């Protein structure tokens, strides 16, 4: 019996259900991050500490910063 070559399983699309996964290492979705921002996480450090996003490979930190830029009121600091 010949073996069938295994094709790697593609990760699910981050936009499959309208709640995109932002951090794949920690499985943190956009709605979780937006809830944390509404609850007072207005800096990258706060968002990371509260949700765990960005603590794996760190490649999502740019997207975390973009979410903060879009959703934190301008008069609040975003360091």
What is the CATH classification number for the domain harbouring 52? Answer: 1.10.10.1100
Would you state the pLDDT for residue 73? 83
Task: Return the percentage of the chain with pLDDT > 70, whole number.
Answer: 75
pTM: 0.74
d(CA 53, CA 66): 14
Residues paired with 23 in a beta bridge = 28
Instruction: Give the residue numbers spanning the domain of 67.
Output: 21-71
For residue 67, is it left (φ>0), alpha (ψ between -120 and 50) or beta?
alpha
Q: At residue 18, does pLDDT exceed 70? A: yes
Residue 2 lies in a domain: no
Q: At residue 3, does pLDDT exceed 70? A: no
Q: Which two tokens stand for residue 27?
A: 């499985």
Residue 15 lies in a domain: no
**Total structural domains in the chain?**
1
Residue 67 vs residue 2, higher pLDDT: 67
Q: Span 13-25, mean pLDDT?
A: 81
């Amino acid at each position: 019996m010949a073996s069938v070559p295994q094709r790697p399983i593609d990760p699910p699309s981050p936009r499959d259900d309208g709640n995109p996964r932002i951090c794949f290492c920690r499985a943190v979705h956009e709605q979780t991050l937006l809830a944390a921002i509404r609850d007072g996480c207005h800096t990258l450090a706060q968002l990371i500490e509260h949700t765990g996003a960005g603590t794996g490979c760190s490649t999502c930190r740019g997207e975390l910063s973009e979410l903060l830029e879009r959703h934190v009121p301008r008069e609040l600091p975003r360091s």
